[in-house]
Chain A
Amino acid sequence: MNVPLITEANELAIAGVDISNLSKRFGDNLVLDDISMRVKPGSVTALIGPSGSGKSTLLRCVNLLETPDGGSITVGSQTIRAGERVKDKDLLALRRQVGMVFQSFNLFPHFTVLRNVAFPQERILGRSREEAEARARVLLERVGLAEKADQHPGKCSGGQQQRIAIVRALALNPRVMLFDEPTSALDPEVGVEVLTVMRELADAGMTMIVVTHEMQFARDVSDHLVVMADGRIIEEGDPAEIMANPGEDRTRRFLSAVLER
């Protein structure tokens, strides 16, 4: 895995993400309360906080898996404002800029690993089957899974499945990558395989927003740390600094709880 994961990274227009005054309710429950946050192109932002703090919901708002109730989101040059009807065309355009990796992998079990990576390319980038599969094989090779190409995801370990899910998203040349607790469903020793791939991706200059409980990853890899609680950002800044010197009591309690695990 010495070859950089995406040699094309520099050719890509990497986008930033701008979130302003975002709010989201589920029924009577205000899960995101006036969130504003800026993610610079090519930077890595780690989102941490206790469960129920709204960090996953925030992430899912960025590619509109959740529809925000207030505020706006800008990805690259595309802005989506809450309350305005989003045309299907704009929705798809947004999602094509943004890749996402889920906690539960969500590979398509009825496709082979190769088809999982190739099929979206054919549909979204209009590549021919040969072209899409050739690129899929190259990417799988780079994460050390070339030999799994013709098997079904059910035959792969969790760590392998998550690496395939990352490759599936990368194959579409996203400008931003979202990670929703990518290692939470994995045993620690397997999570490392996935974190290694993510670290390479960060080194290659991808814009990344990562919801995580991996404090070491947050400290070593991310450029910016955002701490959330009860639907608000309670603290943000340099990861190492916040971890060494939390400015908020709730941050301190959360960190010690996570580190004691």
Chain B
Amino acid sequence: MDLVEYLPRLGQGLVVSLQLTALSVVFGYVIGLVFALGVSSRRPWLKWPALVAVEVGRGIPALVVLYIVYFGLPALGVLFENFWAAVIGLTFTAAAYSSEMIRAGIQSVPAGQREAASALGLSRMTSFVRIVLPQGLRSSIPALMGLAIMSFQATSLAYSISVNELMSQAYQVATITFQYLAVYTVTGLVYAAIAVPATWFSVWVEHRLARGAV
């Protein structure tokens, strides 16, 4: 049996993987920013829940998070399509990791920036939103790009909750054709063909940012 005729199925799977990545990264980073603000807060009722969410999200395997969403939410009477269960699980993991990266970025902004803003008479809010946050986010860009690549790879775990992404399609094609070695090799190369250049790009961006180029 010719593997080539099954390539479109892998292509369809890849599209689903990329959709999962995009959704979980966009939602995850927004929630990650909220978590980062929460963890940095001086108010205990904001700080502690955010801290627990972040440590739990980073401390448990993404696979376990997916299973909890997939098996757990229906038990609570909430029903999701598998696809959305995967989006929720991957978003949570991305949020937890990104929040630490964003927090590190914010912390890396020199204290003099905040001082200069206060000395000019800018309010604390303006100083944070317009002076500190943009610089903090900029310095966390390379880490967030790396996390986006990790998130793309992590979409392969959605196979385990039967989402029709690339890994599931590969599994099905392999089962039909019995060409396990060839199918999984091709699949691995598809993932790598996206992840490796993306990694090189993020390294390039990191160097540019380090050189102070805008």
Q: Hey, which bits of chain A sit against chain B, CB under 8 A?
A: 63, 65, 88, 92, 95-96, 98-100, 102, 104, 106-110, 119-120, 123-124, 152, 154, 165, 168-169, 172
Interface size class of B (residues with CB under 8 A): 20 to 34
Produce 1/0 per residue, B85-117, CB < 8 A to A.
000000000000000000000000010110111
Q: Is the CB of A106 within 8 A of B135?
A: no
Residues on B with beta carbons closer than 8 Å to the beta carbon of A92: 121, 123
Residues on B with beta carbons closer than 8 Å to the beta carbon of A152: 214
Chain A: CB-nearest residue to B130: A119
Produce 1/0 per residue, B121-158, CB < 8 A to A.
11110100011001100100000000000000000000
Residues on A with beta carbons closer than 8 Å to the beta carbon of B122: 120, 123-124
Docked CA distance A98–B123 (Å): 15
Q: Is the CB of B138 within 8 A of A106?
A: no
Q: Hey, which bits of chain B sit against chain A, CB under 8 A?
A: 110, 112-113, 115-124, 126, 130-131, 134-135, 138, 212, 214
The list of the 3 closest CB pairs from A to B, nearest first, reads A106-B116, A95-B121, A100-B119
Chain A: CB-nearest residue to B133: A110
Docked CA distance A172–B126 (Å): 16
Nearest Cβ in chain B — how far from A23, in angstroms? Answer: 22
Known A-B contacts A110-B135, A152-B214, A154-B212; the reply to A95 vs B120 at CB < 8 A is yes
Among B116, B118, B214, max chain A CB count under 10 A is at: B116
Q: Is the CB of A96 within 8 A of B112?
A: no
Nearest Cβ in chain A — how far from B126, in angstroms? Answer: 6
Q: Is the CB of B135 within 8 A of A109?
A: yes
Q: Is the CB of A124 within 8 A of B120?
A: yes
8 A–B contacts from the bound complex (CB under 8 Å)? A63-B119, A65-B115, A99-B119, A100-B120, A106-B110, A108-B131, A124-B120, A169-B120
Q: Is the CB of B113 within 8 A of A106?
A: yes
Nearest Cβ in chain A — how far from B212, in angstroms? Answer: 5
Chain B: CB-nearest residue to A93: B121
Docked CA distance A206–B134 (Å): 34
Chain B: CB-nearest residue to A63: B119
Q: Is the CB of B119 within 8 A of A108?
A: no
Nearest Cβ in chain A — how far from B134, in angstroms? Answer: 5
Nearest Cβ in chain B — how far from A149, in angstroms? Answer: 16
Docked CA distance A135–B118 (Å): 22
Cross-chain contact of B120 among A88, A110, A120 (Cβ < 8 A): A120
Q: A65-B118, A104-B112, A169-B120 are in contact. List 14 more A-B contacts (CB 8 A).
A: A95-B118, A100-B119, A102-B116, A102-B119, A106-B112, A106-B113, A106-B115, A108-B113, A109-B135, A124-B122, A154-B212, A154-B214, A165-B116, A169-B119
Known A-B contacts A109-B135, A152-B214; the reply to A172 vs B116 at CB < 8 A is no
Q: Is the CB of A172 within 8 A of B121?
A: yes
Chain B: CB-nearest residue to A168: B120
Chain B: CB-nearest residue to A169: B120
Nearest Cβ in chain A — how far from B36, in angstroms? Answer: 18
Nearest Cβ in chain B — how far from A74, in angstroms? Answer: 18
Docked CA distance A133–B149 (Å): 41
Docked CA distance A169–B119 (Å): 9
Nearest Cβ in chain A — how far from B28, in angstroms? Answer: 24
Q: Is the CB of B116 within 8 A of A108?
A: yes
Docked CA distance A109–B123 (Å): 19
Nearest Cβ in chain B — how far from A223, in angstroms? Answer: 24
Residues on B with beta carbons closer than 8 Å to the beta carbon of A165: 116
